[in-house]
Amino acid sequence: MADKIDYGTLKKGGFMRQKQKGYFSLRLGIVGGQVTAEQLAAVTDVANTFGHGYIHLTARQGIEIPFINIKDINAVKAALAKGGIAPGVCGPRVRTVTACQGSAVCPNACIDTTTIAQELNDRYFGKELPHKFKFGVTGCQNNCLKAEENDFGIKGGLEVVWEKDKCISCGVCEKACRTNAITMKNGEITIDYDKCNRCGRCAYACPADAYDTTEGYYVYFGGLFGNTVSRGIPVVPFIKDRETLFRVCDAALNYFRENALPGERFKFTLDRLGVDGLKEKVMEAYHG
Amino acid sequence: MAEEIKVDDTVDITDVVCPVTFVKAKVALEELEDGQVLSIRMNDGEPVQNVPRSIKDEGHQILKLLDNQDGTYNLIVRKAGEE
Ligand code: SF4
Ligand code: SF4
Ligand code: SF4
């Protein structure tokens, strides 16, 4: 039992100090919004035994267990570890990686958000930075996970190419497209790629599998949704493979670490320095 | 091209909204025999954007989408059997 309480360390470990003296709301480490039944059972156990018998769901797919007494910290950690779950983080570092369900479950998805979130988490979770840094991964243009709210947001897309020999000229894709990028004339499809947002709807609606598809990623930089609300901006073109995606992630995080002032959120670094410096670094990464 | 397809039954879903559009079309398809062809009349906008995909995902065969030039479309579908 600690005599001296180091709130800094406690906070790093996801223990959010409550207004009630000696109590913490314990934030858990969750990736992409996925929690196993076994983990839930451990959480239930801790909430009943050490907390007040309830949990709080955070805005970013997290779970907090309020009313954990500081003297119980080690026992709580041990009980959670049995269920395969651990405290999360707060403070100036890479935070919970959020994700929608993606292609594992959702029929609209263009990418496997869950494995991407897991890989982001494995690479970066808890990494120390000038300020907090949030990743979010959404599977398609429907944007259920709100990619542009994050310091680094990823949105899945499908690049589509019409395959004439398979097409039965039914006309379904022309109407399925919400951006009017598709026109059918005399049974021939033309795609205006300046209008196409790679939502994949044409390919998913086509009864003849007449679209060749390549999955990829739109990325957005410097979004935040707190005291200041600002939408992440696109800086690199559509990314067509995971290696490039992670190179771009590395480059953006490095840029942030090297250029942000202490306590400065990514958006404000970009506001202060302009976007060209970041662009140079991430474009280098984009081209390998 | 559409003239060559023999339509066995028709259903009009322009009088309902999502998600009943799809349900009404599905019920109409259930009343047909496997291999028979249904023409589904639907509105422009959400229905024509989404209903064909839903019918496809049910395993039926989409043959053609016809523009009636009056803000409605006819989707021609061949019923697939249960797997
Ligand atoms: S963003 Fe797309 S893939 Fe993700 S849950 Fe929504 S519809 Fe599905
Ligand atoms: S991917 Fe989406 S936006 Fe692009 S052509 Fe297909 S339906 Fe239209
Ligand atoms: S939906 Fe497929 S088969 Fe129908 S017109 Fe478009 S590409 Fe051709």
Per-residue 3-state assignment (H helix, E strand, C coil) for A83-99: CCCCECCCCCEECCCEE
Q: Is residue B52 included in any domain, yes or no? A: yes
pLDDT at res. B80: 93
Domain count, chain B: 1
pLDDT at res. B65: 97
Q: Which amino acid is at A163?
A: E
Listed in order, strand segments (DSSP E) in A83-151 are: 98-99, 135-138
Query: Smallest Cβ distance to B48: which of A169, A175, A204?
Result: A175
Strand pairing of A135-138 and A23-27?
Answer: unpaired
- What architecture is the A7-82 domain classified under in CATH? 2-Layer Sandwich (3.30)
C-alpha A146/C-alpha A148 separation (Å) is 6
Instruction: Give pairs for A8-12: CB < 8 Å, separation 24+.
Output: A8/A91, A10/A70, A10/A73, A11/A90, A11/A91, A12/A89, A12/A90, A12/A91, A12/A93, A12/A126
**Structure confidence by residue, pLDDT tens digits, A89-139:** 888 999 999 999 999 999 999 999 999 999 999 999 888 999 999 999 999
Residues of B in contact with A207 (CB under 8 A): 52, 56, 61-63
Q: Which chain A residue is nearest to residue B60, measuring alpha carbons?
A: A207
Contact A171/B63, CB-based, under 8 Å? no
Q: What residues are paired with A137 via a beta bridge?
A: A99, A154
Give the ligand 3 atom nearest the CA of A174.
6
Domain A98-158+214-286 fold is Sulfite Reductase Hemoprotein; domain 1 (3.30.413)
Contact B62/A207, CB-based, under 8 Å? yes
Q: CA neighbours within 13 Å on the CB side: how many for A38?
A: 6
Q: Is residue B49 included in any domain, yes or no? A: yes
Determine the residue among A175, A183, A185, A189 to mutate to test chain B binding: the one whose Cβ has the most chain B Cβ atoms within 10 Å. Answer: A175
Q: Indicate the DSSP class of residue B38.
A: E
pLDDT at res. A12: 74
Ligand lying nearest the CA atom of residue A105 = 1
Q: Cα separations (Å) of A175 from A216, A237, B51, B61?
A: 23, 26, 10, 17
Q: Cα separations (Å) of A210 from A15, A26, A172, A173, A185?
A: 53, 51, 11, 10, 16
Give A148 Cα–ligand 1 centroid separation in angstroms: 14
Q: Within chain A, which residues score under 70 in pLDDT?
A: 1-6, 8
Give A171 Cα–ligand 3 centroid separation in angstroms: 6
C-alpha B17/C-alpha B45 separation (Å) is 11
C-alpha B74/C-alpha A169 separation (Å) is 15
- Nearest protein CA to atom 6 of ligand 1, as residue: A144
Taking a contact as any Cβ pair under 8 Å apart, which residues of chain A between 71 and 130 contact chain B?
107
Find out whether the beta carbon of A253 lies less than 6 Å from any atom of ligand 1.
no
Q: Do residues B74 and B65 make contact, with C-beta atoms less than 8 angstroms apart?
A: yes
Give A180 Cα–ligand 2 centroid separation in angstroms: 8
Query: Smallest Cβ distance to A172: which of B44, B57, B62?
Result: B62
Q: Cα separations (Å) of A195 from A1, A140, A147, A182, A237?
A: 62, 16, 20, 9, 15
pLDDT at res. B83: 55
Residues of B in contact with A168 (CB under 8 A): 63-64
> B16 CB near a chain A CB, below 8 Å?
no
Which segments of chain A belong to CATH 3.30.413.10? Answer: 98-158+214-286
Q: Do residues A180 and A164 make contact, with C-beta atoms less than 8 angstroms apart?
A: no
What is the average pLDDT across B72-76?
98
Q: Do residues A65 and A24 make contact, with C-beta atoms less than 8 angstroms apart?
A: no
Distance of CA A3 to the CA centre of its chain: 38
Q: Which amino acid is at A86?
A: A
Query: Smallest Cβ distance to B63: which of A170, A175, A205?
Result: A170
Q: Which helix (H) or strand (E) holds A17?
A: strand A15-17
Report the CATH number at residue B62: 3.30.110.40
Contacts of A155 (CB under 8 A, 6+ apart): A138, A139, A140, A141, A143, A147, A217, A218, A219, A220
Is pLDDT at B3 greater than 70 in this prediction?
no
pLDDT at res. A1: 45
Q: Is residue B83 included in any domain, yes or no? A: no
Could you count the other beta carbons within 10 Å of the beta carbon of residue A255? 22
Its domain, for residue B51, covers 9-78
Indicate the burial class of B81 (C-beta count within 10 angstroms; 0-12, 13-18, 19 or more). Answer: exposed
Q: Name which of A232, A272, A253 is nearest A94 in CA terms.
A: A253
Strand pairing of A98-99 and B9-12?
Answer: unpaired
Find out whether the beta carbon of A167 lies less than 6 Å from any atom of ligand 3.
yes
**Structure confidence by residue, pLDDT tens digits, B46-73:** 999 999 999 999 999 999 999 999 999 9
Distance of CA A59 to the CA centre of its chain: 13
Q: Do residues A11 and A17 make contact, with C-beta atoms less than 8 angstroms apart?
A: yes
| Cα angle value A228/A229/A234 (rounded, 5°) | 125
Q: Which amino acid is at A266?
A: F
Determine the residue among B55, B62, B79 to mutate to test chain A binding: the one whose Cβ has the most chain A Cβ atoms within 10 Å. Answer: B62
pLDDT at res. B82: 66
Q: Which chain B residue is nearest to residue A174, measuring alpha carbons?
A: B49
> How far does the CA of residue A55 sit from the closest CA of chain B (Å)?
34
Give the ligand 1 atom nearest the CA of A106.
8
Q: Is residue B1 included in any domain, yes or no? A: no
pLDDT at res. B2: 45
